[in-house]
């Protein structure tokens, strides 16, 4: 099932370094690697809501992740995970 999204910036292609992705609350993440990659969402600061945890993203899979604005996302090595700040709907 496809989903309509609005892009809110350019892609982050270095997910090996934790980033809050410009205070994003919804992130589209794509695994470009040929293997499963672990994505970590870490709670940072006192902002609410917060959604810490980890998920394994399979080869060539795309996920949408809700996160708190100051939560950081990271995973894989350079270029394995590509992420973009998005908003649901058009």
- Would you say how long the chain is, in residues? 90
pLDDT in tens, 1-22: 577 888 998 898 878 889 999 9
Of the two residues 41 and 77, the one the predictor is more confident about is 41
Whole-number Å distance between alpha carbons of 62 and 48: 25
Handedness of CA 81, 54, 27, 48 (dihedral sign): negative
Query: Are the beta carbons of 83 and 12 closer than 8 angstroms?
Result: yes
All domains in the chain, ordered by first residue:
5-88 (2.60.120)
In DSSP notation, 46-72 reads S-SS---EEEEE-TT-EEEEE--TT-E
Q: What is the pLDDT of residues 39-67, one digit of tens each?
A: 999 988 777 777 789 999 999 999 999 99
């Amino acid at each position: 099932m496809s989903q309509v999204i609005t892009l809110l910036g350019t892609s982050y292609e270095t997910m090996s370094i934790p980033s809050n992705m410009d205070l994003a609350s919804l992130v589209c993440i794509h695994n470009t690697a040929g293997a499963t990659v672990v994505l970590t969402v870490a709670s940072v600061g006192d902002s609410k809501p917060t959604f810490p945890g980890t998920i394994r993203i399979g080869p060539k899979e795309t996920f949408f992740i809700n996160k708190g604005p100051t939560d950081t996302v990271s995973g894989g090595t350079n270029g394995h995970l590509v992420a973009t700040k998005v908003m649901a709907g058009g």
